[in-house]
Each structure stands twice: as C-alpha cells, then as structure tokens.
C-alpha cells in the first residue's frame, strides 16, 4: 500500500499537497516498470486468479482510506479539495460531470444481441449448422432440419441463462436511490452555508453530508463530527452487531480497514446517533465498488464446457480427414465425384453426436424438475451438472448451519453459579418491556415457560421504561409491587451488554453470605473473565442488575430517565446460543460420505463459529480469521485456505479470495451457500452459487440455485442428481463417439474391400437418425450407487483413452459381419447383390449402435448383473425392431434394401454374444488399469 496507489486514484485531478504527501523520487518510473512486469507476469501465468493478494483497485482504495484515517481534518479537506463550508453548487455540478453519477461501479453490460451472438458462436453449433447445410445440399432435408432444431434449442437456453445473469448487478441500484442531506455553500461575495436534499446519485467527493438514524452513507466518508454514532456494517462484514464510530480519533496502519473508527463506508447505515462527514470517495472509487467490480462479468468455462469445445475441434479434424479420405476412395472405385461427395457428407454427419445438446439439456432439465419437488429453484441448468463435480461446499454459518434465532442456555450469578434470582429479574425485564422487542427477550420468556418457572408477573405493575439505545446498550424497566396496603416496593431492573451494565453497578451480592458488598475491581475482572470463557464457547452474554427506588411521596407514578441507572446491584449473567439445525449434522455427514468437504466462511467471531462447527461435526483443528489472512504471503494464503475448515471474521472480498484460491490453486469445484449482500461476491464466483428465498435480492439474482427452505439435505439430493446427470451425459458422449468412430472406420474398410459404398447416403443418414432417436431415453436411465459416492470430473485425456480401448472392438465385429457375408453367402460383391449387403450392414450397424449403450452404461455384466431403466430398454427394443423390419417393408424397397434370410439373424445372435463377451473382457482390463469406467 505505497503512496503511488493513492496518487493513481486521482490522476485526473492533480493536487500539489497530495502529490507532496505520496510521491517519492522516480516513483512514476518505478510504478511503470512494476505495472509492465505485472502485466507480463499475468500473461505468462495464463491470467490465473491469485486469491492471496488484493487487486490494484483494492490497493488504491485501501491506501487512500488509510491515508485519510491517519490525517488531521484540515489536511483531509486539502486532499479532497473541499472546505469546511462544503462545495459550491457550481463546483459540485462540475465534479458530477467529471466523475459521473455516484453508483458503486460502472460496468458496460453486453446487449441482448451480443449475448445471442456469443451463444451462437459455439463450436458444436457451427458443426451442426455446416452439416445441416450440407444435408440440404445432399437432398436430405429431414436430417438438416433436425440439426437446425437442435442448434435452436442450444442457443436459446444459453442465451436465456446469460441474459438473466448479466442483469444481476443492476440490483446494486437499490443502494443509491435515496435523498441525502448535504451542506453546500452559495454566494458570490459572502459564502453562506446551506443544507439541501441531494439524490444519492448526485453526491460527489468533497461534499459534507449530515447523517441521522436510518440513513445510508452515500460514499466512503471521513467523519468530521459525531455524537454517539453507531453504524451497522453487516452488509460488508456479514457479522451481526453494530460498530461505534467517532470523528475525534486518528487511526494507524495496524487497524483493519473495516474497524477504522473515523471512516464510514458506502452501503452501511446509521443505527443511532448522528454526525457529519466528508465524502472522500464516491461511485466506482468506493470500497463497495471494489467488492462488486466482478459482478456481471462472464465466468470462465468449466472443465465440462472446455471439454465439449475440445471434442468439437477434434471431431472437426476427424470429419475433414475421414470424409476427404473416404470421398477419394469412393471416387476411385465409382468414378462418380458427385455421388462420392454426397457419401462424404453423410459420413461427416454420422460422425457427429447430433443429439448431444438435446441429451445434455434434457438431463439438466429433468434434474431441475426433480429438485423443484425438493423446494429448490434451479436458475442455471449447468449448475446441476457442476453439483455432481463439486468437492468443496463453503457455507455461511448463520441461518444455514444454525436456526438463526436465540435460545437461552443458562443463568449465573457473579461467581459463575446457577441462580434463579438472575433468571427471575431477567424475566421481569423481558416481560414488561414493550418497546423494541428483541429475540433475546423471546428466548428468556420461552426458557421460563418451558422449564416450569412460576415468577407471577401479575403481582408486579409497570411504572416506566427506559428503552434501549445503542449509546447505553441496555434497557431498564421500573416495577412496583404492593405487599400490603401500606407497604410497596419499587425497583429498577436493567439488562443489556455486560460492559454497559457493569458501568451502572456499584454493588454485588456475596456468594457465601448473601450480603450486598461494594463492587470491586476484582469482582469486575472475575465477571469479565467469565464472559470471555462463555464467549469462547460461542455463547452470547448479557448482564442483569437491579436496585430499589425511593417511593415518590403522595404519587404512585413518576417519570424516570437514564440517570436512575446508577449505583445498581449486579445480579449475574444470562447466556444465549444460536442452535444448530437438527438436519445440519446429518446433511454434512451425507455430503462427506459423497466426497464433499465442508468449509465454514463467516463474518461472525471465531469462537462462535468453532462452537457451531463442533455441534454439527465439522473439524476445527485448522481455523483462521480474516485479519490473520491479510498478513499472509501469497503462498501461505493458499496453503492456509487449503487446510482451514473454519474461516471467521471474513470480509466479502476475503470470502471471494478464498473461493478463488480453492478453484485456481486447489483445482476444486466449489459451491458456496450464503444469503447476504456480503456473500454475493463468493456466490457469483463459485462454480455453484446457492442462496435462499429469504436472502438478499442481489444474492438471489447471482445464485445458480435458490433454496426455498434452508435445509442442507436438499443439497445432498442435488449432488446425487448432479452426478446422475453427469453420468448420463458421459454415457452418451462416450458411447456416441465410440460407436460413430468405430462405424466410420468399418465403413472405410468395407469401401476398400467392396469397391462400392456399404450404405448409400440416404441409408446411412436413416441409420444415423434412428440411432439418434433411440438415445433420447438416456436422461431417464439410472446409475449404480457406487458412482454417485464420489465427485465426477471431466477428463479429455480419459475420454481419448476410453475411445482407444473400446472403439476397435466395435470395428472388429463390424468387419466380422462383413467377412461372414463374404464367405458364408459367397456373394460376388463387385458385380451383384449390393442390396443384400447394404441391408445386412444397415441392420447390423443399427443394432450395434443401439446395443452399445448397455455395455458402456455399467461396470457390471449387462442384462445379468445390471439392467438399464425401462425407458432405455423400451427404446432399444423399439429401434431394433424398426431397423430389422425396414428391409421387409416397401420403405426398404424404395431405399434399396432387400429382405434378409433368417440364417443371418442367427449369425447376429452369435455376433453380439461375442461382442458383449469381448467388450466385457476389455472393460474389466480397462477398470483394472485405470480404476474407473465412466
């Protein structure tokens, strides 16, 4: 965070004071060299994300804010070129034109036609379109039309998904549409100060803003004055609670950025108190803008998408080589160039797994419908497939692992012993309190009622109430009880933050004698140590105190203020806990069984996170906090993230870096479950972003999956369906490529031997069409239980090896079929009966391609140890029957087939028995060598 970064933010508006502060000799030159080296290094490294370092934009913001936090107020005015009276209207308008509207970041989103064009420009779509055009040229309009329909489905689905996700960042406008009180100055001779209402979009650096309870800070603000100012920063930190801010302090570099007392950040809100502040950063230069600068940008393609692209390129090369070679071979045998070209086009079409887009999208849509029944909305279909590959699930603790409510645990006196009196007075305070009811009050009442205590609140009468505020952080009720007509007791009961309750106490009850003694320093240290121990166990603690009041003579009631909260008797502590969900431990255990490791990424305290993780079974041997991560080097950061299971007190950008580190360095497929604004960056960056229906709007918009119920068991089912979807997709890809390549190699050999085409172009396209229709049932196939127990990832190398092992098996039996026809039937293939050969090749080839799914879909012996689902069985039977029947129909006669003798079908039974036997042997050897199948 050197000075050069502070300077770079304001290159447009140079300031001599600022330049003297931050510049050193040759800084510009050295900065240029570092910048050049940085860009070269990024090019060499392949632009991999470095999760351990801040971006250049973040460094600029950090340096600027730290400089202002450490500077005196008069120097701060110099830095932003403002005055104690504020900006003039003319100067403010000028700056607004120079800097643009005050929105968190400026990002140009692609138009709808750009997204449509990007969806269209996919290698597989180009292949299908080219083949469709060639099919029309070859007078095969039905096949060309089918391929165009498949392209339309693929492009439409991708366009819809990308168009929806690109609009998510627009939700940030919710932060910038409200009026702000601003101090401006006006007058030509004498400058007069004026308070005006300005839309937040029109705020500029240098403006002086006045904030009150409920206001949002319109930019990053350096406080000028403050009065009991309490701010809610949960939108940035994710940690429940409030932060006190003060103008009368000068911070140092060791303070974490979000803990700076004199800096308030855009998007945070005022809870209580008020003050004035100088806007030092607005628009895209705020801390919030660095958080959301990546939203709306396209994610890099995952391994599956990259694998599909590479397959497309390989298929193009194979099609060009094979089609060209077969065209040349056919031409030299037939001397008919037009006929040979049409045959080559048919070969290219047969090589393409034309149903791949439909198979993938049907599998994903089927999974989405199944997850919808489990109260889960799938916005991005590809996320289902990614869930099957997910091996790490990052979880935001609150509301996900826990019930997001307070449950009372225990009540202690000042010596740490359970005491009913503490609960009694705490209950009376919660019972009679009427203003600003909090979950802790409900927890106390529920504890008393469910445990059978009889405190008889009806015998007490409420006289007055001193409500809670964030300056005192306690609440008091004044109660009166009538013992007899002449004897009454009036007391004040106070409960709240322990430190604040202790400030109001002067006495404490002795543990042994029960006498009221003076509250000593030793008592305070003992009580604070007790609180620390409870906090380390993940419990939230409040204090309870009381004192008797003098009765007002001649009047039953009197008005009280907070001056009554003094010289009180400290009674004890009440502890609370946000309990884990009953389903969380079971769900995490099931995820671990399936190879998905859980990591907790939370903005809450480390002690609370550890307590929850122990309750739900997450290991806590390796834990770390956000401030500790900030101090680590790049390598240490990645190593720590890899080992840690609990990461607490994380800022939103730190959550993002953790996810990116796991993805880029650990090469994991990461899911992130969160529901707050502070989780949005991590949700957007994760391979599978998950939010809940009650989450923040932007979190839901960026998520791929939205849970209607905060139940991790839904994710367990989603992982299983993701792996089933992945498996069925891989079945089709491997089976289709193996069958198609094997078939084309067989056609090449047959063409060389027969000196004529084993199938005419219409016959080959009809065979290919029937085979493709038969594969529509694959998304409804089932999968072996062992397969869904481990994460599944795409491997192009594994696919190539799979084809190398299994492709020749198909070709071997295709050639065996050819040799059987040649030698058994003794036909003179060069001069007579090509219709018989083509009919036999058509039937055998179609049966081979239809039955291969049963061999590939399982590691076990097909039809004996494992049977496919009934839709796949029905599809196999129907397509096989159609293929066998065609040569006997008028359609077969038109296509150039003739009927086949029954003896040939007897041979096919033997042929396919041999194929399944040899295929199963090859399968077992392959599994022994590579320890996997699909």
pLDDT tens figures, 792-818: 777 778 888 888 888 888 888 988 988
- Cα separation, 240 vs 396, whole angstroms: 13
CA-CA distances (angstroms) from residue 279 to 224, 662, 861? 10, 37, 72
- Contact of 591 with 714, CB cutoff 8 Å: no
Which pLDDT value is given to residue 36? 32
Which pLDDT value is given to residue 68? 92
The encoded tokens of residue 115 equal: 């997204």
More confident residue, 617 or 843: 843
- pTM score: 0.70
- Cα separation, 728 vs 779, whole angstroms: 6
Q: Does pLDDT of 411 surpass 90?
A: yes
Q: Does pLDDT of 602 surpass 80?
A: yes
Q: How is residue 325 annotated by DSSP? A: H
Instruction: Place 641 in a pLDDT band, splitting at 50, 70 and 90.
Output: very high
Dihedral angle computed from the Cα positions of residues 25, 31, 33 and 35, in that order, rounded to the nearest 10 degrees? 180
Residue 310, C-beta contacts closer than 8 angstroms, at least 6 positions apart: 796
Q: Does pLDDT of 206 surpass 90?
A: yes
Sequence-distant contacts of 777-780: CB under 8 A, at least 24 apart: 777/869, 777/871, 777/872, 777/874, 777/875, 778/359, 778/363, 778/728, 778/731, 778/732, 778/853, 778/872, 779/359, 779/362, 779/363, 779/366, 779/725, 779/728, 780/366, 780/869, 780/871, 780/872
Average pLDDT, the chain: 79
- Contact of 705 with 383, CB cutoff 8 Å: yes
820 CB neighbour count, 10 Å cutoff: 17
Q: Does pLDDT of 19 surpass 60?
A: no
Give one word for 269, left, alpha or beta, with left for phi > 0 and alpha for psi -120 to 50.
Answer: beta
- Contact of 788 with 920, CB cutoff 8 Å: no
Q: Does pLDDT of 7 surpass 70?
A: no
Pairing mode, if any, of strands 220-232 and 179-186? unpaired
> H or E segment at 493?
strand 488-497
More confident residue, 355 or 854: 854
- Contact of 326 with 751, CB cutoff 8 Å: yes
Phi–psi pair at 195, nearest 5 degrees? -100, 120
- Contact of 266 with 61, CB cutoff 8 Å: no
Q: 419-432 pLDDT, tens per residue? A: 999 999 999 999 99
Q: Which of 258-272, 350-364, 732-746, 749-763 has the lowest mean pLDDT?
A: 350-364
Helices 834-856, 870-885: crossing angle, 10 deg rounding: 170
Which pLDDT value is given to residue 491? 92
Q: How is residue 862 annotated by DSSP? A: B
Catalytic residue annotation:
396
Q: How is residue 268 annotated by DSSP? A: -
- Cα separation, 433 vs 429, whole angstroms: 6
Residue 175, C-beta contacts closer than 8 angstroms, at least 6 positions apart: 104, 200, 216, 266, 267, 288
> H or E segment at 566?
none
- Cα separation, 208 vs 600, whole angstroms: 40
CA nearest to 891, candidates 729, 763, 749: 763
Helices 902-930, 796-825: crossing angle, 10 deg rounding: 150
Q: 273-330 pLDDT, tens per residue? A: 889 999 999 888 888 877 766 565 545 556 777 777 777 777 777 777 877 887 887 7
Query: How many helices (H) does the chain have, and how many strands (E)?
Result: 33, 24
- Using alpha carbons only, what angle is made at residue 134 by residues 132 and 139, rounded to the nearest 5 degrees? 95
CA end-to-end span of the chain:
50
Q: 102-153 pLDDT, tens per residue? A: 876 554 556 777 778 876 776 667 777 887 787 777 666 766 776 677 677 6
CA-CA distances (angstroms) from residue 135 to 139, 320, 350, 651? 6, 16, 11, 57
CA-CA distances (angstroms) from residue 42 to 82, 274, 660, 732? 39, 46, 16, 38
Q: 819-859 pLDDT, tens per residue? A: 888 888 765 544 457 888 889 989 998 998 888 889 988 88
Q: 565-588 pLDDT, tens per residue? A: 999 999 999 999 888 877 788 888
């Amino acid at each position: 965070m050197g000075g050069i970064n502070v300077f770079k933010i304001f290159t447009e508006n140079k300031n001599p004071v600022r330049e003297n502060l931050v510049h050193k000799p040759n800084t510009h030159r050295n900065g240029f060299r570092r910048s050049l080296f940085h860009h070269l290094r990024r090019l060499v490294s392949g632009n991999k994300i470095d999760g351990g370092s801040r971006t250049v934009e973040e460094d600029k913001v950090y340096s600027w804010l730290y400089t202002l936090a450490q500077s005196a107020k008069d120097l701060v005015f110099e830095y932003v070129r403002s005055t104690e009276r504020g900006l003039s209207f003319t100067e403010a308008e000028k700056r607004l034109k120079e800097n643009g509207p005050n929105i968190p970041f400026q990002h140009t989103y692609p138009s709808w036609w750009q997204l449509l064009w990007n969806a269209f420009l996919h290698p597989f779509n180009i292949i299908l379109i080219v083949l469709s055009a060639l099919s029309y040229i070859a007078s095969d309009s039905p096949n060309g039309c089918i391929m165009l329909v498949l392209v339309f489905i693929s492009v439409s689905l991708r366009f819809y998904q990308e168009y929806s996700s690109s609009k998510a960042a627009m939700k940030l406008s919710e932060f910038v549409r409200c009026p702000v009180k601003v101090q401006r100055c006006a007058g030509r001779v004498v400058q007069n100060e004026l308070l005006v209402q300005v839309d937040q979009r029109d705020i500029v650096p240098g403006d002086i803003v006045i904030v009150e309870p409920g206001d949002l800070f319109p930019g990053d603000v350096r406080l000028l004055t403050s009065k009991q100012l309490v701010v809610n920063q949960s939108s940035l930190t994710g940690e429940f609670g409030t932060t006190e801010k003060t103008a009368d302090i000068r911070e140092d570099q060791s303070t974490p950025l979000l803990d700076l007392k004199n800096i308030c950040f855009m998007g945070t809100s005022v809870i209580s108190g008020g003050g004035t502040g100088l806007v030092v950063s607005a628009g895209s230069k705020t801390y919030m803008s660095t958080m959301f600068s990546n939203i709306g940008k396209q994610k890099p393609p995952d391994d599956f998408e990259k694998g599909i692209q590479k397959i497309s390129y390989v298929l193009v090369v194979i099609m060009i080589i094979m089609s060209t070679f077969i065209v040349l071979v056919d031409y030299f045998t037939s001397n008919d160039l037009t006929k040979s070209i049409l045959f080559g086009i048919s070969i290219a079409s047969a090589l393409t797994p034309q149903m791949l887009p439909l198979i993938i999208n049907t599998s994903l849509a089927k999974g989405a419908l199944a997850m919808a029944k489990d109260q889960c909305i799938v916005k991005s279909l590809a996320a289902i497939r990614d869930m099957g590959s997910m091996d790490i699930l990052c979880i935001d603790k609150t509301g996900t692992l826990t019930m997001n409510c307070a449950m009372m645990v225990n009540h202690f006196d000042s010596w740490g012993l359970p005491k009913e009196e503490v609960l009694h007075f705490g209950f009376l305070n919660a019972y009679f309190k009427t203003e600003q009811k909090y979950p802790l009050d409900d927890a106390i009442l529920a504890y008393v009622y469910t445990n059978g205590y009889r405190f008889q609140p009806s015998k007490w009468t409420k006289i007055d109430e001193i409500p809670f505020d964030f300056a005192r952080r306690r609440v008091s009720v004044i109660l009166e009880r009538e013992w007899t007509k002449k004897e009454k007791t009036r007391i004040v009961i106070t409960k709240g933050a322990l430190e604040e309750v202790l400030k109001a106490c002067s006495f404490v009850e002795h543990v042994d004698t029960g006498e009221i003694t003076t509250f000593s320093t030793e008592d305070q240290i003992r009580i604070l140590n007790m609180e620390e121990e409870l906090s380390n166990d993940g419990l939230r603690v409040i204090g309870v105190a009381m004192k008797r009041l003098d009765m007002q003579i001649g009047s039953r009631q009197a008005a009280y203020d907070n001056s009554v909260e003094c010289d009180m008797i400290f009674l004890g502590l009440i502890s609370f806990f946000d309990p884990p969900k009953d389903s969380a431990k079971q769900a995490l255990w099931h995820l671990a069984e399936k190879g998905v490791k859980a990591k907790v990424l939370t903005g809450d305290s480390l002690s609370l996170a550890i307590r929850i993780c122990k309750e739900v079974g997450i290991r806590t041997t390796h834990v770390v906090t956000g401030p500790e991560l900030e101090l680590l080097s790049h390598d240490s950061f990645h190593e720590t993230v890899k080992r840690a299971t609990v990461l607490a007190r994380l800022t939103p950008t730190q959550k993002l870096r953790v996810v990116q580190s796991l993805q880029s360095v650990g090469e994991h497929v990461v899911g992130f479950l969160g529901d707050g604004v502070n989780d949005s960056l991590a949700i957007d960056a994760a391979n599978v972003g998950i939010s809940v229906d009650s989450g923040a709007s932007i979190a839901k918009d960026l998520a791929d999956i939205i849970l209607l119920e905060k139940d991790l068991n839904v994710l367990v089912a989603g992982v299983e369906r993701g792996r089933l979807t992945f498996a069925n997709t891989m079945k089709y890809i491997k089976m289709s490529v193996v069958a198609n390549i094997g078939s084309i190699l067989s056609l090449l050999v047959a063409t060389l031997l027969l000196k004529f085409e084993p199938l005419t172009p219409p016959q080959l396209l009809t065979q290919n069409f029937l085979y493709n229709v038969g594969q529509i049932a694959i998304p409804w196939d089932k999968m072996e239980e062992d397969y869904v127990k481990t994460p599944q990832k795409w491997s192009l190398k594994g696919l190539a090896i799979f084809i190398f092992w299994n492709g020749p098996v198909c070709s071997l039996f295709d050639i065996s079929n050819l040799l059987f026809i040649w030698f058994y039937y003794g036909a003179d293939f060069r001069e007579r009966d090509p219709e018989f050969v083509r009919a036999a090749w058509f039937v055998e080839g179609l049966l081979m391609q239809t039955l291969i799914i049963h061999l590939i879909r399982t590691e076990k012996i097909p039809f004996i140890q494992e049977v496919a689902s009934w839709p796949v069985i029905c599809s196999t039977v129907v397509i096989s029957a159609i293929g066998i029947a065609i040569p006997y129909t008028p359609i077969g006669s038109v296509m150039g087939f003739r009927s086949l003798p029954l003896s040939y079908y007897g041979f096919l039974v033997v042929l396919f028995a041999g194929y399944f036997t040899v295929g199963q042997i090859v399968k077992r050897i392959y599994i022994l060598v590579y320890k996997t199948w699909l």
